[in-house]
Amino acid sequence: MSSNFIFKLPSEPFGIDDSERCIEIPWAISCYSGEERVLDVGYANAEDRYLEQLLSLNIKELHGIDIIEKNIGGIIPHKSDIRNTNFPDEFFDLIYCISAIEHIGRDNSIYDRYFCEDSNDGDIEALSEIYRITKNGGRIVLTVPFGKYHNYGWFIHYDEKRWNKLIKSVNCNTIKEDFYKYDNGWHSCDEHELKEILYKDNNAPAAAGLVCILLEKGTNSNIKMQSKESSKNVERTDMNTIEIKNEEINVEEIMAKIRENIRRRKEAEVSPKDDLSDLSVEINNVQDSLQYLKNNADIGNNSYFISSHRPFAGKFLVKSRSLINGEVRRYMDPVIWKQTEFNNELVKVLSSAGTRIDHICEYLEDIEHINDICERLVNTNNSIGAINERLKTSETAYYDVNTRILKFESENSELRSSILKLESEKIDISGLVKEEVTKQVNEILSSLDSEIKNREWLINLLEKRNAGCSNLESVTSRAYFEVPDLNYFIFEEKFRGSRKEIKERQNIYIEYFEGCRNVLDIGCGRGEFLELMRENGIGAWGVDFDKTMVEFCQSKGLNVLFDDAISYLEKLDDSTLDGVFISQVVEHLEPVVLVRLLELCYKKLKLGYYIIAETVNPLSLTSLANFYIDLTHFKPVHPETMRFLYSTTGFRETEIKFFGLTPENEALKPLSDNDKQVLIKEDIETYNQNIRVLNSRIFGAMDYAVIGKK
């Protein structure tokens, strides 16, 4: 990162005079290079501005992990300790850990009292797990407060020693590492400038020193610091030698160097054997020269003596030469002696070098042998690689063929099963048809038999009633008993609908009486509601003034009493009922009787329980037109009138529900969108609204129910 990076930061949303976030957030975001699966450690406590920047990257799959749970749109949450995750190995392309690792293994009780610990290696354990779940070639972004070491309890302040221990605990390459110092704003700096810096020094809002690092996970790489030059384990010095500079030996890298060395020699058409033979000739020449030096190391002329062949002057000449020779030797002998000593020492050194050269020759022979072996190994390895490729191709082809065979076998098995199934069905189909026909015939016969029995029971009951009754019963408050010759049981069967249909309509009322034990059904009729209550475990009984209805209900095992509703309610104690249901009775009553009935229901009902009165809806012209099919109907009651009567009686939370809509095929039809070419859109909407109003008035709900609560 350039030294003037900080001065290129935008003033918003980070700000120059802010905490270390104004450095590490843009620094971390700048490390993103299109990775698809990314994890952020400590996302739940990250600042909103950081999360906003992270989400703006539109990462395909962004995960977050923290010890507390938090749902953030666009982030897949994981509640877990980063030291012990369930992620598979090599899962993420990029992992962010921004000002988070210094808190791991520390006192985090501000989030939960169980998160309090004091572990010296929490950060190392966390980075080890981060390394495990990072893909080979994937990257890790770390930022921590940096300077002088100090344990603040809920986090640690890193120094050089602690930082290097953390980074060297994993096998990663350092892509970039930057240090920053706060001093009236943030500035890029060297590591040594932060040596004495602690948290909030120099009036910093938080950390006063910061280190940001981008790591890359490698398979066999050693940890290298970009800011410091480090030597490689293995280097090539020339085409014939490999130099190993430290104790860590990477076999694969050495073999790669050897292969490259052989390749380069082949390209240069240089044979190691030629090199060694030339070197042997040179070594032999050196040995000859060394022997010559040994023989001529002493340069003194000790064999020289003074003589003269002249018979007369010879003695004088010998004497004179001896005197001159003595004077010369006095000056020359020390020089000659030193030169001789030097020559002797030089010969010793060269002799030692010669011995070493002999050893080198032996080593060279060994190297020649090793080179031959390496070359054969490389050739063998290449052959093995080619064989492996062919094996892979064959294995793939075998797998494809095997897959096809399995597929054919599966399809063949399915075909056999289908054939067997068809044969079995062919054999059994006639029996199944006969069985199904017999079953349906039996069901129809059973239904007819049940219908015949019901009608026989009804005929017998009517005959007994007609034979035993000589006088008309007294007129009661229920208007339909003013027509004594009308059998209301048969009338309801024909005009109201079957018991099954009525039960289905009344299902909507169950929720108001759940858990009740004393629900009274006034005018229970054929007992549909009572049967529904029994099926749902709700205690209920009914009262009706039609003997036929009462006897029919009793034959079904229902608890029904023969009595007038007003008289029966007057006999009950106050606040004893926990529910009252009145279905299709209100339209039979005179107003004074209706008001009295509601007053009694209010007295007998417990506080907090419901009364439901269902009656004919006069707002629907269709319903109103059919109102007088029933001769016992007195007059319809408007829904708002019923709401008013409920309110004046004392009931609260009154609501009106409409149901029993006219089928769509019997109502007016609105225009469809296909008619837009005839009418403009506004006309269509106006027309359709008119149709909706007419439908609600003419073909509205047939019935309504008023629900109140005491």
Q: Say how far residue 303 (Cα) sits from the centre of its chain.
A: 103
Which three-class secondary structure state does DSSP give residue 84? coil
**Residues near 366 by beta carbon (within 8 Å), at least 6 away in sequence:** none
Q: What is the pLDDT of residue 529?
A: 93
Q: What is the pLDDT of residue 114?
A: 64
Domain 497-709: give its CATH architecture: 3-Layer(aba) Sandwich (3.40)
Structural contact between residues 129 and 65, judged by C-beta atoms closer than 8 angstroms:
no
Range 687-706 average pLDDT: 67
Check if 20-217 and 497-709 are the same fold.
yes
Q: Return d(Cα 245, Cα 171) in angstroms, integer.
A: 20
Q: Which of 89-93, 309-313, 380-384 shows the lowest mean pLDDT across its residues?
A: 309-313
Which three-class secondary structure state does DSSP give residue 398? helix
Q: Give the rounded percent of residues in the chain with a pLDDT score beyond 70.
A: 70
Q: Which of 27-31, 145-149, 304-308, 510-514 shows the lowest mean pLDDT across its residues?
A: 304-308
Domain ranges within the chain, ordered by starting residue: 20-217, 334-428, 497-709
Range 303-316 average pLDDT: 67
Range 605-631 average pLDDT: 83
Q: Which of 143-157, 304-318, 670-684 shows the lowest mean pLDDT across its residues?
A: 670-684
CATH code of the domain made up of 20-217: 3.40.50.150
Q: Say how far residue 585 (Cα) sits from the centre of its chain.
A: 59
Structural contact between residues 106 and 154, judged by C-beta atoms closer than 8 angstroms:
yes
Q: Return d(Cα 616, Cα 255) in angstroms, integer.
A: 98
Structural contact between residues 76 and 117, judged by C-beta atoms closer than 8 angstroms:
no
Q: How confident is the model at residue 23 (pLDDT cuts 50, 70, 90)?
A: very high
pLDDT higher than 50, residue 97: yes
The tokens for 562 are 């023969």
Integer CA distances (angstroms), 41 to 101, 142, 291, 702, in order = 8, 10, 75, 63
Q: What is the pLDDT of residue 244?
A: 39
pLDDT higher than 90, residue 423: no
Name residue 29's amino acid: I
| Higher per-residue pLDDT: 108 or 527 | 527
Q: Return d(Cα 447, Cα 510) in angstroms, integer.
A: 29
pLDDT higher than 70, residue 459: no
Structural contact between residues 708 and 610, judged by C-beta atoms closer than 8 angstroms:
yes
List pLDDT tens digits, range 48-84.
Answer: 889 999 999 999 999 999 998 889 989 999 999 999 9
pLDDT higher than 70, residue 208: yes
Q: How confident is the model at residue 316 (pLDDT cuts 50, 70, 90)?
A: confident
E strand residue ranges, 109-185 = 134-145, 150-151, 156-157, 172-182
Q: Return d(Cα 636, Cα 562) in angstroms, integer.
A: 26
pLDDT higher than 80, residue 300: no
Q: How confident is the model at residue 352 (pLDDT cuts 50, 70, 90)?
A: confident
List pLDDT tens digits, range 474-499.
Answer: 333 343 344 444 555 566 665 566 77
Task: Indicate the average pLDDT of the chain.
Answer: 78
Q: What is the pLDDT of residue 228?
A: 37
List pLDDT tens digits, range 124-142.
Answer: 999 999 999 999 999 999 9
pLDDT higher than 80, residue 552: yes
Q: What is the pLDDT of residue 363?
A: 79
Range 419-437 average pLDDT: 74
Range 107-117 average pLDDT: 71
Q: Return d(Cα 275, Cα 265) in angstroms, integer.
A: 11
Q: What is the pLDDT of residue 27?
A: 95
Residues 543, 544, 550: CA angle, nearest 5 degrees: 100
Q: Which of 13-27, 91-105, 282-296, 393-407 has the highest mean pLDDT?
A: 91-105
DSSP state, residue 573: P
Q: Which of 291-295, 430-434, 455-459, 594-598 has the highest mean pLDDT?
A: 594-598
Smallest CA-to-CA distance from 481 within 554, 565, 561 is with 565
Q: What is the pLDDT of residue 250?
A: 54
Q: What is the pLDDT of residue 696?
A: 64
Q: Return d(Cα 63, Cα 79) in angstroms, integer.
A: 11
Rg (CA), the chain: 55
Structural contact between residues 85 and 128, judged by C-beta atoms closer than 8 angstroms:
no
Tokens 């050893």 correspond to 359
Structural contact between residues 506 and 528, judged by C-beta atoms closer than 8 angstroms:
yes
pLDDT higher than 50, residue 222: no
Which three-class secondary structure state does DSSP give residue 643? helix
